[in-house]
Structure 1
Amino acid sequence: MRARTYVIYDVFTQTPLAGNALAVVLDCEGLDTAAMQRIAREFNLSESAFVLPPQDPRHRARVRIFTPDYEMPFAGHPTVGTAVALAERAAEGNGDGILVLEENIGPVRCAVSRPAGEATFAEFDLARLPEQLRLSADAEAIGAALGLGPHEIGFENHRVSFWSAGVPYVTIPVANLDAAGRVRLDNAAWSELAPRKNGTVPASPYVYCRETESRGNSFHARMIVPGSPSYEDPATGSAAAAFAGAIMHFDQPREGAARYWIEQGLEMGRPSRIRLELDIAGGNLAAARVGGHAVKVAEGTLFV
């Protein structure tokens, strides 16, 4: 048994007790996979991050990410939150710069800054650009599993599709905020029709619409994790990364840089704001970044 420092950040927000909560365990030498999984279950947050020495000395840290039930290859709010935590710890809250985190998906390059009067901001380059996957379920069945009618699925030329930038999501456009607010996942129905990630767990639905609650945002989104029970995630960076594929496919943004702010978590009282940036060259997605602010809300010591 030894003492290990941990911090808790609210990510994709500048306001404590909003956004997506993350536990970051900073001293993880000697912990095996089973121990990390038990600690993640003890925190019982959507994800917890565990910081280890890097395998490549040019990188800042090796980071492993766990939900209470399994390890993730990559996740957005743990990447942003861990980058902010390491930068603030190294520079006593004033750390700007570039750092690379080694995640299961591969090296993830992060940029950290602290704009005047704001919480620390971090963004990461997608280690894997979004790829469209095969989806056999029809839109009407997907809508029914969400408690919506056929007329509420889709807007403009946006249609239900399936994308992954390391973690797969079924991206589901809905007509407006009213439809998004009435989404209720039928676990049994979703389990029957949803594609599987890792061959076992149903991919999560990522519901979005063009109408937003706040001016300056491009999309309103909700992400619900299926299971018994299912639960809603207040801010999902890996889903925003996958969603970049849907934006490219349906909106076909112009050459150069495109920036989108995505609001999420409003229905559950955890308002969040995610920044998604796309670099388009020759009509193709050349690179993409996901970013957001993070604020520390707690710190302490684990004795494990």
Structure 2
Amino acid sequence: MVRHRAFTQVDVFGPGSGLAGNPLAVVHDADGLDEATMAAFARWTNLSETTFLLPPTDPRADYRVRIFTTGGELPFAGHPTLGTAHAWLEAGGRARHTDRVVQECGAGLVPVRVGERLDFAAPPLVRSGPVDEARSQTVLAALGLAAEDLVGMAWVDNGPGWIAVELRSAEAVLAVEPMAEHFGGGGGSALGGLALGIVGRWADPAAVGKDVEVRAFFRDGAALLEDPVTGSLNAGLGQWLIAAGRLPSRYVAGQGARVRRDGRVHVEQDGPDLWVGGQVTTVIRGEVLL
């Protein structure tokens, strides 16, 4: 039965003023919505992700969320985690703990720290380590690169199917021109096809206000998409490169320049936990009829 449901659209990982990060649509009180309706609404919003808030099934969680792209459901994604937590708190959600929210999603329980910004604890990688030779060649072809352009390549998959590629500089990252024909169908391992992230360091971080530059690519149907700012990818990159000693335990990633955004992702290793955070700004409040 169709009814009025609260709706919020937020900007995640922007510099604080909104409209420069990654947008997210959040449907509150999504009880009673079936999966087909959720998927149809996500296709209709045409955003990289749309989330649906539900009561938790785990007593340790404050809420449950289902995360949909235009092509299907994901067990976890980073900017939807922060954006949903922000929308839930702003709508009057009361967390069991004063300093954090606990989200239940397809990947399990994800803590979100509440402070000057929101930070999620990176979930364990479901696949890590080296990429086989055949797939490595496909990745190189998809990015229009040669083996000598790379510093390294690894699986950093925490749900969407990310393969990460480290390049020799941030400028090299910004210069990449991906080739859609090599990505296959769908978008990420959950949906089929490649989901690729690239990262490179800035030589003078103080001058640009960020330590590394990141880009993310996946295919959705016939379209090759570049995600504006990607929490799950940045989580995987941090887990890989901090452990490898190629990035410090605390750094700032920039993402979105090639798609006219200005995202900032804060990454921090704190003991056994890797925290990934950024600013969230509400842009739209209203109701949807679903």
Tell me the TM-score range normalised by the shorter chain. 0.7 to 0.9
Which residue is equivalent to 2:189?
197
Which residue is equivalent to 1:118?
none
Correspondence for 1:169 among 162, 183, 197:
162
Q: CA RMSD in A?
A: 2.6
Q: TM-score, normalised by structure 1?
A: 0.84
1:131-177 per-position Cα deviation (integer Å, ceiling 9, x unaligned): 424512365653332123444x22xxx31222223333111112223
Which residue is equivalent to 1:239?
233
Given that 1:240 and 1:290 are in contact with CA atoms closer than 8 Å, whether structure 2 keeps it comes out as yes
1:196-217 per-position Cα deviation (integer Å, ceiling 9, x unaligned): 724x612311011012775342
Which residue is equivalent to 1:209?
200
Percent identity over paired residues: 32
Given that 2:214 and 2:255 are in contact with CA atoms closer than 8 Å, whether structure 1 keeps it comes out as yes
TM superposition outliers: structure 1 runs of 4+ over 6 Å:
none
Which residue is equivalent to 1:2?
3
Alpha-carbon distance in structure 1 between the residues aligned to 2:188 and 2:10: 30
What SS is found at the alignment partner of 1:28? Answer: coil
Given that 2:162 and 2:188 are in contact with CA atoms closer than 8 Å, whether structure 1 keeps it comes out as no
- Give the partner amino acid of 1:143: L
Unpaired segments of 5 or more residues in structure 1? 116-120, 281-285
How far residue 298 of structure 1 moved from its aligned partner, in angstroms, is: 0.7
Could you say if the C-alpha distance between residues 150 and 57 of structure 1 is closer, same or farther in structure 2, counting changes exceeding 3 Å? closer
Unpaired segments of 5 or more residues in structure 2? none
Alpha-carbon distance in structure 2 between the residues aligned to 1:104 and 1:10: 23
Alpha-carbon distance in structure 2 between the residues aligned to 1:81 and 1:207: 23
Given that 1:5 and 1:301 are in contact with CA atoms closer than 8 Å, whether structure 2 keeps it comes out as yes
Structural mapping, 1:14-29, within 5 Å: 14-29=16-31
How far residue 62 of structure 1 moved from its aligned partner, in angstroms, is: 0.8
- Give the partner amino acid of 1:6: F
Which residue is equivalent to 1:148?
145
- Give the partner amino acid of 1:177: A
How far residue 295 of structure 1 moved from its aligned partner, in angstroms, is: 0.3
How far residue 4 of structure 1 moved from its aligned partner, in angstroms, is: 0.7
What SS is found at the alignment partner of 2:71? Answer: coil
Alpha-carbon distance in structure 2 between the residues aligned to 1:130 and 1:241: 13
Could you say if the C-alpha distance between residues 184 and 66 of structure 1 is closer, same or farther in structure 2, counting changes exceeding 3 Å? same
Q: TM-score, normalised by structure 2?
A: 0.87
Between stretches 171-180 and 131-140, larger displacement belongs to 131-140
Alpha-carbon distance in structure 1 between the residues aligned to 2:276 and 2:145: 29
Given that 1:129 and 1:288 are in contact with CA atoms closer than 8 Å, whether structure 2 keeps it comes out as no
Which residue is equivalent to 1:103?
105
Given that 1:83 and 1:112 are in contact with CA atoms closer than 8 Å, whether structure 2 keeps it comes out as no
Alpha-carbon distance in structure 2 between the residues aligned to 1:99 and 1:260: 23
- Give the partner amino acid of 2:67: I
Question: Would you say how many aligned residue pairs link Structure 1 and Structure 2?
Answer: 281
What SS is found at the alignment partner of 1:86? Answer: helix
Alpha-carbon distance in structure 1 between the residues aligned to 2:74 and 2:241: 24
